[in-house]
Amino acid sequence: MAERILMNEFKQLSKPGEIPWLNVQLGKGDNLFLWDVAIIVLNPTSVYNGGYFKAELKFPSNYPYSPPEFRFLRPLWHPNIYPDGKLCISILHPPGEDEMSGELASERWSPAQRVESVLISILSLLDDAEVSSAANVDAGVMLRKDPEEYKKRVRENVETSKKDIPEDFVMPTSAEIKPPPKDETSDDFWYDSGAESFGGSDDASLEGSDAEMIYDDEDGNVDTEDDDVDDAVSADEDAKRISVTPNRKVLGLNVEDSSRTATPRPT
């Protein structure tokens, strides 16, 4: 099941020009469980503007029940990014509430999430740092006490990141993103991207040979091969799914509509 879900997500996210602020490829050996990604900051007012930040996504074998791991491949100066490139962000924490941190289940990973919502949260985090719970204490202190020096340090990271831009890749400068049309025929939770306003996949369901297989059981009842997923996600949890819509200025995009919002919470 994980392979099928990941293949569908990869196909949608890697369409040329589909998501201007993202470049996605499969990892070494075309490993479907390891993605090479680059997050591109388009916001002209952002200190991270112009950055081509390479990272890797590692998916567990039981995806989407467990979250992927994300790590920037070059050092990036930010209060919520560890020196090894990993992030402290709620959406990548395992499902369920955490009494120690005070995180709600709705702020953390759930099987209803998609790769796109994770990447949007990370892009939003760059310009919306949470210094009170910093993973990089020095960066947090610098942002509070010496913001100009902080900006200087970040600009150095931005210039270094440009060395990773592929020779045949044209860096985007802006984008106009329209929310994808609603799909009235499919309710598969992993195809319903919460990021409706940021240029994700236009199709929320599979068609043709990739469509969900439907069959009759011994009693003649219609069943599907994905009933185990539907049973695992309760109606209550499904209603709490996160639809991450960060500040429009963070993305530097023209967004026509945003009907559901939630703020990604670093921890």
**Active-site residue among 88, 92, 195, 244?**
88
Contact 256, 77 (CB under 8 A): no
How far is C-alpha 196 from the chain's CA centre?
13
DSSP letter at 238?
Answer: H
**Which of 37, 10, 8 is CA-nearest to residue 23?**
37
Do 182 and 203 meet the contact criterion of CB atoms below 8 Å apart?
no
Does 148 qualify as catalytic in the annotation? Answer: no
Q: Where are the beta strands (DSSP E) in 30-172?
A: 34-40, 52-58, 69-72
Residue 82 in contact with residue 135, Cβ under 8 Å?
yes
CA distance linking residue 104 with residue 113, whole number of Å: 15
Contacts of 17 (CB under 8 A, 6+ apart): none
DSSP 99-144: TTTTB-GGGS--TT--HHHHHHHHHHHHTS--GGG-SSHHHHHHHH
Question: What does DSSP say about strands 22-26 and 254-255: parallel, antiparallel, or unpaired?
Answer: unpaired
Q: What are phi and psi of 196, to 5 degrees?
A: -65, -20
- Catalytic residue IDs: 88
